[in-house]
Structure 1
Amino acid sequence: MEKVNHTVTEFILVGFTTDPVMQLVLFVLFLLIYCMTVMGNITLIVLICTDSQLYTGMYFFIGNLSFLDLWYSSVYTPKIMLTCISDDKSISFAGCLAQFLFSAGLACTECYLLATMAYDRYIAISKPLLYTQVMSPRLSSYLVAASYTGGFINSIMITSETFTLTFCGNVIDDFFCDLPPLVKLACDVKESYHVVVFFILVTNVMAPSLIILSSYLFIIVTILRIQSTQGRLKAFSTCGSHLTAVTLYYGSILYMYSRPSTSYSLQRDKIVSVFCTVAMPMLNPMIYSFRNKDVKDALKKMQDRIRIS
């Protein structure tokens, strides 16, 4: 195939289907999901910022996760909806690069943030009397800042490596600019590129996974030492939401990016991509609020204030 990288000025996003009826159905579906994502995450952020009962390290991290999910969803969903209802399926080279840069940065940041939240739960359960001293507001802020810094440094690395590949076409068999379909378009992928991808995978998935596993190993040991059944259940309940979010997010990430490129099935991977980029930002507020008594109480107080006013 002829190498045409220097003449590629835009990419074509194939999306899911070319059927007009199905495109309209998908537009409505994505619109509903996006509205729920925005409402859920903004509500959770407002609750955490306004209710004094939620001024703790755990809710500080949950609030940042909601902000991250709100931004993450906004990188993709508006463009997906526009592609569904528009005859123009194109995205400029610069637009594709920007989408890739921000999506990779936010995805990497979420990996670090989930690891930080696991460490926070370890301190809260294993050393409850020292929790406020260890997880001080300053340290919590530093950890969040470090998560963003590490995430976007890695994003810049993988983006620069990906968009200097030689592309033999411009039709992306997906609904956004992601790594697997872009690699499929590459005429040749150098060994150095595989090294960079492996480094990104280790630093952003494997290393945070080890932190999470280590934290929960110590948490389990601590919980098993608790004498009362009620105390054990209470300790487990504080970790349930985080464990659910970690399992869903890391499971999807590992499935998408830890396999060799020759084993990618783009049609099947589109479903997983939708789950990671569109559904997960909507699910996180539900995961962290429906099973959380403090958040439920804060929401009830907010509703009462709205009725009174």
Structure 2
Amino acid sequence: MKRGNYTAVSEFVFLGFSSFHEHRLTLFVVFLTLYLFTLAGNVLIMSIISLDRHLHTPMYFFLSTLSASETLYTLVIVPRMLASLAGLRRPISLAGCATQMFFFITLAINNCFLLTAMGYDRYVAICNPLRYTVIMSKRVCAQLVCGACSIGLAVAMTQVSAVFRLPFCATLVAHFFCDIRPVMKLSCIDITVNEILTLIISVLVILIPMVLVFMSYVLIISTILRIASAEGRRKAFATCASHLTVVIIHYGCASIAYFKPKSENTRDEDQLISVTYTVITPLLNPVVYTLRNKEVKDALRRAIGNKTSCLGCLAIWHT
């Protein structure tokens, strides 16, 4: 379609949570608290995995990478949202909006495929344990992580290029960050082609990884049920419980956000869903893996024990 004589738009303004204006301070405190817990939890996981040699395995390599990705993911979105709630409602340039959308898409897709890689790791560990160290070598793990990141970068470049080739006639984004659909709605022209592209990409990067993960778990569960020992079955299920919990929450929120019928969309509902996958879901990763994972809890106890011992030694030396 021809672009026509449209007024050039050079910046956007987020409406954010303007419909909850009277609760702005409460929302700021709640989201800031959640954000700080998310940062602290993910940094704690990365530190424990890095320092404890018992956790230098493929499973925890993927978990550490996921924690790093989740940290960057929240960093792209949450600080600006908090600034808006604090009353610092500044416009964002077109280039700034494109940059935020690019990193948001890249990291979101990276997280989806990292969870898929973690599912494959659990499948090999339980269904093919004798060849686990051969199949899940350091090289293969690095290739899986690079592959997840490369897919994220390629899809982000495609999606952002398609969105920012559109001419824009409005400047008020009915959202708290540069998400795909709220920005596309500001276009002066018909966006049907862009909506179809977004749907195709969503199917590829959400449904396909989700199906692969659940196929892995069908094979994992069938293998576990054939284990004769009840204790062996319990340990095998415990190994997968944390990952499966995170997978269900992550893919569940993403599916609701991007496959929800357009006719049902309302601004407040969309923002509530977006808060779930941008603020709450990244917090669940460290919470689930520290509260439900015995190896991580044991590593944390060892780290605390070593620190206590060191402090005790210093106290004795000074006396």
Pick the TM interval, shorter chain: over 0.9
Matched, 1:22 2:23: yes
* C-alpha distance after superposition, 1:269-289 (max 9, x if no partner): 111101101111111011111
Quote how far apart the aligned CAs of 1:192 are.
3.4
Which residue does 1:68 correspond to in 2?
69
Quote how far apart the aligned CAs of 1:241 are.
0.9
Provide the secondary structure at the position in 2 that maps to 1:11.
Answer: strand
Which residue does 2:150 correspond to in 1?
149
Matched, 1:130 2:134: no
Quote how far apart the aligned CAs of 1:4 are.
7.8
* C-alpha distance after superposition, 1:93-112 (max 9, x if no partner): 11111111100110011111
Alpha-carbon distance change, 125 to 5 in structure 1, aligned in 2, over 3 angstroms: farther
Cα distance in 2 for partners of 1:84, 1:190 equals 30
Cα distance in 2 for partners of 1:117, 1:88 equals 39
Which residue does 1:201 correspond to in 2?
202
Alpha-carbon distance change, 5 to 296 in structure 1, aligned in 2, over 3 angstroms: farther
Cα distance in 2 for partners of 1:178, 1:295 equals 34
Alpha-carbon distance change, 10 to 217 in structure 1, aligned in 2, over 3 angstroms: same
Alpha-carbon distance change, 184 to 264 in structure 1, aligned in 2, over 3 angstroms: farther
Cα distance in 2 for partners of 1:234, 1:4 equals 66
Aligned length: 308
* C-alpha distance after superposition, 1:126-153 (max 9, x if no partner): 0112111110111001100100001111
Which residue does 1:46 correspond to in 2?
47
Q: Which one has the largest radius of gyration?
A: 2
Cα distance in 1 for partners of 2:270, 2:164 equals 21
Does structure 1 retain, via aligned residues, the 8 Å contact 2:73–2:107?
Answer: yes
Which residue does 1:180 correspond to in 2?
181
Report the more deviating stretch, 216-225 or 16-25.
Answer: 16-25
What TM-score results when the alignment is normalised by the length of structure 2?
0.91
Matched, 1:256 2:257: yes
* C-alpha distance after superposition, 1:139-169 (max 9, x if no partner): 0011001000011110111111111123231
Quote how far apart the aligned CAs of 1:194 are.
3.4
Identity in percent: 38
Which residue does 1:274 correspond to in 2?
275
Report the more deviating stretch, 239-248 or 18-27.
Answer: 18-27
Which residue does 2:81 correspond to in 1?
80
Does structure 1 retain, via aligned residues, the 8 Å contact 2:48–2:299?
Answer: yes
Report the more deviating stretch, 170-179 or 227-236.
Answer: 227-236
Provide the secondary structure at the position in 2 that maps to 1:153.
Answer: helix
Paired residue type of 1:300: R
Quote how far apart the aligned CAs of 1:91 are.
1.6
What TM-score results when the alignment is normalised by the length of structure 1?
0.94
Which residue does 2:95 correspond to in 1?
94
Paired residue type of 1:288: Y
Which residue does 1:116 correspond to in 2?
117
Cα distance in 2 for partners of 1:79, 1:71 equals 13
Runs (5+) with no aligned partner, structure 1? none
Runs (5+) with no aligned partner, structure 2? 312-319
Does structure 2 retain, via aligned residues, the 8 Å contact 1:170–1:185?
Answer: yes
Cα distance in 1 for partners of 2:128, 2:158 equals 38
Cα distance in 1 for partners of 2:88, 2:63 equals 39
Paired residue type of 2:278: T
Paired residue type of 1:43: L
